[in-house]
Amino acid sequence: MSGALQINHPSDAEPAALPPPRLELRGIVKHFPGVRALDGVDLVLRPGRVTALIGENGAGKSTLVKILTGIHRPDAGEIRVGGRPVSFASPQDAQDARITAIHQETALFDELTVAENIYLGHAPKTRLGFVDWSAMRARATALLYGLDAPIRPWTRLRDLSIAQRHLVAIARALSIDSEIVIMDEPTAALSHKEVDDLARVIERLKGQGKAILFISHKFEELYRIADDYTVFRDGRSVGAGRMDEATHDELVRLMVGRSVDQVFPKVPATLGEPVLEVSGLCHPTEFDAISFTLRRGEILGLYGLVGAGRSELCQALFGATTPSAGTIAVEGRRVAIRSPADAVRAGIVYVPEERGRHGAVLAMPVFENVTLACLGAVSRHGFIRSAEEFRLARHYAERLDLRAASLAQPVGTLSGGNQQKVVIGKWLAAGPKVVILDEPTKGIDIGSKAAVHAFMSELAGQGLAVLMVSSELPEILGMADRVMVMREGRMAGLFERAGLTAETLVAAATGNIQARSDQP
Amino acid sequence: MSAPVPPGLADDLDLRGLVLRRETLLAAALVLLLAAIALRFPAFVTASSLGAVFNDSAILIIMAQGQAAVLLTRSVDLSVAANVALTGMAVALIDAHHVLPLGLTILAAPVLGLLLGAFNGLLVWRLGMPPIVVTLGTLTIYRGFAFVLSGGAWINSFQFSPAFLALPRAEWLGVPVLSWIAIAVVAAASLVLGRTAAGRGWFAVGGNPTAAAYAGIDPGRSRFLAFCFSGLLSGLCGYLWVARYAVAYVDLASGFELDVIAACVIGGVSISGGIGSVPGAVLGSLFLGTIKNALPVVNVSPFAQMAISGTIIIAAVALNTRAERRRGRIILRPVGPQAAE
Amino acid sequence: MALQQTTARVIPDRLLGPIGRSAIRWETLLLALSAAIFFANALASPYFLDIWNLSDATFNFTEKAIIALALAFVVMAGEIDLSVSGTIALASTAMGEAASAGFGTPALVAVGLGVGAACGLVNGVLITRLGLPSIMATIGTMSLYRGLSYLALGDGVLKDYPASFGWFGQGYVWQALSFEFACFLVLAALAGLVLHRTVFGRAVRAIGNNAFAARFSGLAVDRIRLILFLLTGLAAGLATVMLTSRLGSTRPSIALGWELDVVTIVVLGGVSIQGGSGTIPGVVLAAFVLGLVTYGLGLLNVPGIIMSIVIGAMLIGTIALPILAGRILAARRRP
């Protein structure tokens, strides 16, 4: 199953100095309805070493984490902890095997105290079976002291910052006396200084012999923190080795699988007159002083770290939240957008990041989803004309190459990529002028990705204006005519396509000013 | 604190937080309410009269503790009043027919209540049914069984054994046993909600069910335990109610579930789960109890009670909703030294 | 690549034909159930099949069923309204007072409908404008509306209704077809059309399934919710006119506990309490099932409170049994 590896497999070339694996995965397979999330992946974690898990969004990293923490069960493959095969039926089993994950959105409890968050589910007990609160407090204090974390164990969690929450999550991992610690993008929302603090904590954990799986998109961090790496692509492990033996280019090539030009069918666009003009848009808590112009046929990329306020900006443009100041004009006319209904009327549509929550109505069939935003066009006097509705739905289903058993199939039973096609179809049916796409290819398979990208180009070619939020640098560099970067709710730069490099964007997004000299 | 505290650490005693806490505000509102009544009817605010208000609110206080536990887990128990009616009728019949010794008769109430609560909890846990549907159904079923047991007849004061009726009224240190039981239940509830794994689990499950499952807590089981707790306390109140008013009938405590929920909501327990406290539920019950007791004193028709309860529920929910909305993630950081570096 | 195949590949509209679709539905089960109850009743009591008896039986549940038609939309949109019985008390009190003041029948009907709609509007405003959870808001207004009725009437009773007013609850439009039942049939047809054929009905289902996505699709979610609560109040107002006319008097305890029966009809009719799915034929059939059960038990002299046990058990059973049956089947399949 894993014969396609391109680089030395850890078990092939085994330097004698390496300790035996703490965790070994062989040929893990996991299917979801319509998707092969993992298609035979291998992974090795060793005590005292940090292994970086590298891969694009949708490569299967999150699924792997869920398997390792007992939330999903693999369909095939073997998990060995300390050499012994194990199988996890529940999160409790994974905890008993001393595996802990620190999730992207750290799974903690606002109303409980720091000590309780650390010890929830495994609190120290007195002989009578009651929770031993003084022991819990003392141990939590010791753990936090050991992490150099200036947090009182009796504070309620809701009063902590994001970085402090991460420290609490790490303390939780240590409290279980975990041998294997999984960190799923722990640095996504952290500032530079906070990342430094985290690196020190990880160094300390290594010293204690923990095996650490570190997931991140930021190569600079990976070179600093990780010892080994494994690369996932489309649900397979395509490479593994020592971090200091791999170059940046090699890793990117493994991750993407081909060069950027091949993936992105960007046609050179002729830009027309301005369609969307945003000026001085502010929000009391999310973003500040955002101004830009979007022209006919243009794809404007919006880049930034998770939590930089990109989605929030999009939602304000779409009327889902109300900005406190600033103006929005469509085709030269100022529009007041107070609700999504206003935005749709003005010709602005939004393909949200969370498809299942904000995009599609999963329980409803394909045709009802496609016509949801243009019910006026398929009805007369408020009555829906069924034939008309199916005709319209079929038109967009075929145009987007939708893979469904029938138009009456509930959208929730389609694969992620096909769900996204339904959401995009819904908005095309509404006849928009501006299309906002928020992480349009997050978590969808490579085939659907290509379809979405091709379609985006086609839309721009037909004179629509596209605003595309993406965290994937190849996607931004490949698709966008211009790129706007946001950092901590503010504009951190606006760059033309010509000569733009990933480094420039990352520097602007992280606030590392040195690299930011070549562009306006 | 004796341990060295790193600089820049907020102190444990947050005075501003204490002042702005829901419980403090509610206590202040209660004092204001009493003061307003005292201005015109000083007799209402004497020690004995306040003691009577507490005693009258005792059953509400006890049941509010159970309901608070259920609400914390993002559920609701509408069957509590029917539980009181059924357990009350059952122990009344047991006593009237001298089936069991007194101690066992009284003990039967919380046990039967626990079983009724467990039935609710099992349907919610094992079948994954929505709590509102389950308890809406069992609310009629339980009250219906009170009818089946009694055949629709009333059990009147002369049919009870004197000791059965005397217990809640007996006084110890000048305070009725009913009040002592309420105090004991509040103490026990503080312990359960604040100090046991099950109780803390209710907060976790209501606050973030997915994360609770990740942490190895079964949300269904946690809800089941909350329903058991609520049923146990309702059953206890079945005996207390019947003994205190010396009568048992099918429509006993009809509609009381709304008062119980209202007391919790006034006390700041969120119906979307995860937020609430024992002092809050106690204060909410006392607030509602005081108003109901004060109405006849200030010459308001007793028929106005229901309308006032309704208005208070709406106002309390509106306040809670506003308070919960204000919380949220903040992205924008102030422009400071970090941005200028 | 894939683009060439596109033109050749045709996605069918639906996989099952109309008969295949109806065979696997909840409504079919309900239809069978109501037929079974009908025959069991006919066998158990010789009076059951008398056409006038049957017609009288419809009065028992027609008023509740009319409210259930409106509440079905509310539940399908993922909300709930527990205040309907309070609304009836308040509306009936207002009608009684108006009758005492000497107003004629048309004015009384207007007062009943108007007060009902106003109660619904208050619910809607609390829920959509102030953002209160509907269950708590309507538990509050349930007390408030009935409380206002108690405040006005105390333990009194109003019965100064004009003679012509009795027709709404006791009159017949054709042979044994009562005004109440005819009204219900017309409203049921209307509700079915609106839910299953119109843009409004589609929007209601979308909101119930995923209010976020509905809002993000440009639907006016809050306005639609407000309309639903208003309509439920209006339906309760209509039920008030019928009930008050039938009883000929108003007490503050009128229609006590009705919210439970109405919710039971809706849930038994296959409307998901979490919102999003359900049909009007299902609700109509559920109303028939409940009506037939209470009527049949009534003929056998079973007391009302036992009937409420049956109703409560049906509410739980209709949800629990399919889950249990599914589990047992799944367990069998695994050796």
Phi/psi for A31 (5° steps) reads -105, 145
Task: Give A431 to chain C, closest Cα distance, Å.
Answer: 13
* Same domain assignment for residues A218 and A294: no
Strands (E), chain C: 172-174, 177-178
Task: Return all residues near C209 (Cβ < 8 A) that are at least 6 apart.
Answer: A361, A362, A363, A364, C78, C275, C276, C277
Cβ separation of C150 and B304 shorter than 8 Å?
yes
Chain B to chain C Cβ contacts (< 8 Å)? 134
**What pLDDT score was predicted for residue C21?**
59
Does B17 score more than 70 pLDDT?
no
Cβ separation of A111 and B275 shorter than 8 Å?
yes
Cβ-contact A223, A50 below 8 angstroms = no
Mean pLDDT score, B53-62: 93
- For residue A228, being part of any structural domain is answered with yes
- For residue A412, being part of any structural domain is answered with no
Give the closest residue to B71 by CA, choosing from B229, B191, B183, B188: B229
Give the closest residue to A357 by CA, choosing from C213, C305, B51, B219: C213
Does B339 score more than 50 pLDDT?
no
Task: Return all residues near A140 (Cβ < 8 A) that are at least 6 apart.
Answer: A114, A115, A118, A119, A153, A171, A175
- For residue A403, being part of any structural domain is answered with no
* Same domain assignment for residues A321 and A458: yes
**What pLDDT score was predicted for residue B6?**
41
Give the closest residue to B50 by CA, choosing from B304, B294, B306: B294
User: Cα separations (Å) of A333 from A18, A276, A405, C26?
Assistant: 66, 9, 43, 52
Q: Which residue has the higher pLDDT, A105 or A13?
A: A105
Please write the tens of the pLDDT for every residue from A177-212. Answer: 788 999 887 776 666 677 787 888 888 888 888 899
Cβ separation of B140 and C309 shorter than 8 Å?
yes
* Same domain assignment for residues A28 and A67: yes
CB count in 10 Å sphere of residue C238: 25
Phi/psi for A300 (5° steps) reads -100, 120
- For residue A214, being part of any structural domain is answered with yes
The Cα–Cα gap between C92 and C71 comes to 20
Please write the tens of the pLDDT for every residue from C311-325. Answer: 888 888 877 887 787
Give the closest residue to A433 by CA, choosing from A273, A310, A264, A266: A273
Interface of A with B in 161-200 (CB under 8 A): 191, 193
Task: Return all residues near A461 (Cβ < 8 A) that are at least 6 apart.
Answer: A267, A269, A297
In order of start, what are the domains of chain C with their CATH numbers?
Answer: 25-328 (1.10.3470)
Of A193, A222, A257, which closes a domain? A257
Cβ-contact A489, A309 below 8 angstroms = yes
Q: Which residue has the higher pLDDT, A54 or C176?
A: A54
Does C208 score more than 60 pLDDT?
yes
Please report all neighbours of A, defined by 3+ CB atom pairs within 8 A. B, C
Please write the tens of the pLDDT for every residue from A276-304. Answer: 999 999 988 788 889 999 999 999 999 88
Q: Please, which residues bridge with residue A282 across strands?
A: A325
Q: Which helix (H) or strand (E) holds A347?
A: none
Domain count, chain A: 3
The Cα–Cα gap between A190 and A176 comes to 25
The Cα–Cα gap between A301 and A71 comes to 35
**Taking phi first (over 0 means left), then psi (-120 to 50 degrees means alpha), and beta for anything else, what does residue A64 get?**
alpha
Give the closest residue to C221 by CA, choosing from C235, C208, C234: C208
The radius of gyration of chain C from alpha carbons, rounded to an integer in Å, stands at 22
Of A115, A145, A177, which closes a domain? A177
Q: Which helix (H) or strand (E) holds B40?
A: helix B22-40
Strands (E), A332-426: 333-335, 348-351, 379-380, 383-384
Interface of C with A (CB under 8 A): 2-3, 6-7, 9, 11-15, 197-200, 202-203, 205-206, 209-210, 212-220, 276-277
Does C2 score more than 50 pLDDT?
no
Average model confidence (pLDDT) across chain C: 86
* Same domain assignment for residues A16 and A85: yes
- For residue A421, being part of any structural domain is answered with no
| The CATH number, out of the four listed (1.10.10, 2.40.128, 1.20.120, 1.10.3470), of the domain defined by the range B44-324 | 1.10.3470
Cβ-contact A223, A66 below 8 angstroms = no
**What pLDDT score was predicted for residue A257?**
67
Task: Give B134 to chain A, closest Cα distance, Å.
Answer: 24
**What pLDDT score was predicted for residue A446?**
62
CB count in 10 Å sphere of residue B54: 20
Tokens of A464: 């629509």
For every residue of B239-306, DSSP letters joined together read HHHHHHHT-B-TTTTTTHHHHHHHHHHHTT--TTSS---HHHHHHHHHHHHHHHHHHHHTT--GGGHH
The Cα–Cα gap between A430 and A427 comes to 5
Question: What is the CATH number for A9?
Answer: 3.40.50.300
Please write the tens of the pLDDT for every residue from C109-135. Answer: 999 999 999 999 999 999 999 989 898
DSSP-derived pairing of the beta strands A211-215 and A50-54: parallel
Put simply, whether C308 touches B (Cβ < 8 Å) is yes
* Same domain assignment for residues A327 and A205: no
* Same domain assignment for residues A169 and A241: no
> What SS3 string covers A109-151?
CCCCEHHHHHHCCCCCECCCCCECHHHHHHHHHHHHHHCCCCC
Give the closest residue to C55 by CA, choosing from C295, C231, C272: C295
Please write the tens of the pLDDT for every residue from C231-264. Answer: 999 999 999 999 999 999 999 989 888 888 898 8
* Structure-token match 């030294």, residue found: B337
Give the closest residue to B192 by CA, choosing from B324, B24, B72, B320: B72
> Which among A360, A375, A390 is the nearest to C213, CB-wise?
A360
The Cα–Cα gap between A246 and A6 comes to 12
* Same domain assignment for residues A201 and A147: no
* Same domain assignment for residues A128 and A155: yes
Cβ separation of C198 and A398 shorter than 8 Å?
no
* Same domain assignment for residues A167 and A190: no
Please write the tens of the pLDDT for every residue from A432-461. Answer: 999 999 888 876 766 677 778 888 888 888
Q: Please, which residues bridge with residue C67 across strands?
A: none
Write down the ipTM of this complex.
0.81
The identity of residue C147, as a single letter, is G
* Same domain assignment for residues A81 and A208: yes
Give the closest residue to A239 by CA, choosing from A35, A38, A52, A64: A52
* Structure-token match 């739905």, residue found: A393
**What pLDDT score was predicted for residue B326?**
55
**What pLDDT score was predicted for residue C284?**
93
* Same domain assignment for residues A351 and A215: no
**What pLDDT score was predicted for residue A453?**
86
> Which among A362, A402, A426 is the nearest to C11, CB-wise?
A402
Long-range contacts of A86-91 (CB under 8 A, 24+ apart): A90/B216, A91/B213, A91/B214, A91/B215, A91/B216
Does A363 score more than 80 pLDDT?
yes
Residue of A nearest to C206 (CA): A361
* Structure-token match 């619904």, residue found: C120
Torsion of CA B317, B318, B319, B322, to 10 degrees: 120
Give contacts of A364 with chain C, Cβ < 8 Å: 205-206, 209, 276
* Same domain assignment for residues A349 and A283: yes
- Domain of residue A337, residue span: 262-356+433-515
